[in-house]
Chain A
Amino acid sequence: MARQGGLGRGLAALLPTDAEPHPAGHLFAPIVAGGGVSDLGSEMVGELATSQSGLAIIYHALDALVAEHGLTDAAVIIDEPGLGRQVFRAGRKPLDDPGGEALLDAPPGLYTDPALSPGTVDASLVTSLCVVALRMEVLRYDSWHDPLTGLFDRRTFDRLLDMSIARSVRYRWPFTLVLVDLDDLKLINDADGHQAGDAALRALADRFRRVLRYGDNAARIGGDEFALILPSTDPEAVPPLLERIGSTRIGESVCPAFSYGVAQCPTEAESAESLVALADKRLYEAKAVRHEGR
């Protein structure tokens, strides 16, 4: 089904002349460069210095543009190495209504519906600040996540654990910490190569992502070590959960073997060190039992 969206006056000029504007479409128009540092640009610079979320900065800017100038819509298009071509629309709205999809192939820049007078907003500055904000968001994401598995990394886990303990101790909200160790990673690496070892780590991480609930957190905290923070979860509920993780099939791959140890906060420990130490002790007890069973 061909989708002929609404091609606004400004955007239509960028497209073949035989592309008919949709009568019901938005009238997106590019903002021409020019003008001084606008209030919007100043606000964005301020947010870049204080906000942790680059995406929030982009959407705040677009929403502010719409609100301050009484617009119907606004969007920014970024096309940068390392970021690719990205279209952001005010309100995080989907592009799939009249006019929106026409932005997909338009040149990078700031677009509004209806058009703003030249010089109202420094479009090139705002667009560049959106690029910086997106780069900041990508950096934030990458610094919080393990690149191999996509789970949270050690630093994020430490922060999440501290926050969980503080909440648990203050409000008596229990949570369970599970330390998980992939069995025989060294053997896999030695026998089948490091790619096979990496694949085993990813396979386990994928199953965590598949099975864990919203609100649970999983992190890779060491070479073959993972940690799960499970709010409002009794320790008795952990074995069935991990059994389900072990039996989850993703495509043709089978879950690699793993061992685990469990500790609960605040009933068993109220500090990160003691909680991790307890879970770690139980993990190694489980590993010992596993080795004896071989």
Chain B
Amino acid sequence: MDPTSFDDLELELRKLPGVRAAGFTERDDMLVVQVQVAGDEPTANLSHQAARIAYRHADKPVALEIVRWRVIAAPPAPAVAAAPTTPVENNGADAGETDDGVDREADLPRQRVRLLAVLTFPDTDELEVHLTFGGRRIIGRSTAAAGITGAATATIEGLQTFAPTLGGRLEWCSEISEHQTETHYVVACSVVVGDQSRLGIAAGGSRIEAAARATLHALNRALEHLSDTLG
């Protein structure tokens, strides 16, 4: 990448609402872009915009991670003193936590598989799901034309790289958004693991992102059982 293009990439990312920092690392011939966003800023389309900017300026595959920070109040203190605040927390809204709608992270010391980005390449009809676990990043691939099914399949393929014994086969995947807007889609899916069907549901900024998140949701529990083999 020529220096001007790199500068333009960083500056365009920093011009997005709420962006406070942008960092770059290169791994396995892939540019990993991390954007830190203040949690109190509007979020609409941020991941889309950042992905488009990164894709446009990069001369190699890009994985994008958006980390959102917010100040949260700690649980009410039993003492008379005012409740302390925790300085920073990542709510993972755009960073792709395997969020299942239930805040159980505090009870789970183990690391979780996280979704970094879902990218499509119209020129080659490719779709990539970028996942990370324990500092290791992998890409699951499928065809872009397959849409949400492709995103779910690519997610399963990526997870199988982390956990070869996971198995898993997509049974069905369906968009269930009632009010379709450009910024909010909901997808549900069912993944067969062994003799069990596991259901997942998630929202995302695009249909394919929602499908990837739903697949992670469906496989959350299976991944927990396999946590020892992950990585």
Chain A: residues with CB nearer than 8 A to chain B?
A: 1-5, 7, 15-16, 18-19, 53, 55-56, 84-89, 92-96, 101-105, 137-138, 141, 209-215, 244, 248, 251-252
Contacts and interface: CB of A to CB of B under 8 A. Distances in A.
Given A85-B38, A101-B90, 4 more contacts: A1-B105, A84-B14, A102-B88, A103-B21
Contacts of A215: 59
Given A93-B23, A102-B88, A104-B20, A53 B4 contact: yes
B52 A209 contact: yes
Interface stretch (B5-13, B193-201, B217-225): B5-13
Nearest to A87: B21
A105 B84 CA distance: 16
25 contacts: A1-B92, A1-B112, A2-B106, A3-B88, A4-B88, A5-B88, A53-B3, A84-B20, A87-B20, A89-B21, A89-B23, A92-B24, A94-B23, A94-B25, A94-B34, A94-B65, A96-B23, A96-B67, A101-B67, A104-B36, A137-B11, A141-B11, A212-B56, A214-B56, A244-B122
A88 B21 CA distance: 6
Given A86-B21, A92-B10, A16 B67 contact: no
Interface residues of B, number: 42
Nearest to A18: B84
A95 B23 contact: yes
A212 B88 CA distance: 39
Interface of B: 3-4, 7-8, 10-12, 14, 20-25, 32, 34, 36, 38, 52, 56-59, 65, 67, 69, 71, 84-90, 92, 97, 105-106, 112, 122-123, 182
Contacts of A93: 23-25
B124 to A, nearest CB: 11
A96 B4 CA distance: 25
Contacts of A84: 14, 20
B90 A1 contact: yes
B63 to A, nearest CB: 12
Nearest to B72: A2
Contacts of B86: 2, 4, 19
Given A85-B38, A92-B23, A16 B84 contact: yes
Contacts of A251: 182
Nearest to A252: B182
A53 B10 CA distance: 12
A215 B148 CA distance: 30
9 pairs of A and B residues whose beta carbons are closest in the complex: A94-B23, A94-B34, A1-B105, A251-B182, A87-B21, A3-B90, A214-B59, A18-B84, A55-B7
Nearest to B108: A1
A252 B12 CA distance: 24
A93 B178 CA distance: 41
A163 B7 CA distance: 20
